[in-house]
Amino acid sequence: MMLGTPDLFNYLYWLVEYIGYANFIILIVILYILYYLLSSTFMFVMFILLGIIIGLYIGYYMKTM
């Protein structure tokens, strides 16, 4: 299913309403900082490795629960 533009705007609106305006601004700032950090290849590789490690840890934790 393709997301049309009105659907996307509606989703964004409800997301902002749900998490609050201040939290949404903080989220945008965090995403901007991540984008700035990931613009270098080394940070990008480290970020992916960290994501894989966290994913494996969560997967292992879920299996042992």
Q: What local confidence, expressed as pLDDT, does residue 53 receive?
A: 92
For the question of whether the overall pTM of this predicted structure is more than 0.75, the answer is: no
> Is the pLDDT at 63 greater than 80, yes or no?
yes
Residue reference for tokens 């700032």: 29
Residue numbers of the domain that contains 21:
5-64
User: Do 15 and 27 touch, CB atoms closer than 8 A?
Assistant: no
Q: What local confidence, expressed as pLDDT, does residue 52 receive?
A: 93
- Candidates 33, 13, 30; CA nearest to 21 is 13
Q: Report helix, strand or coil for 4.
A: coil
The count of domains in the chain is 1
- How far apart CA 35 and CA 59 sit, in angstroms, is 26
Look at the chain and count its residues. 65
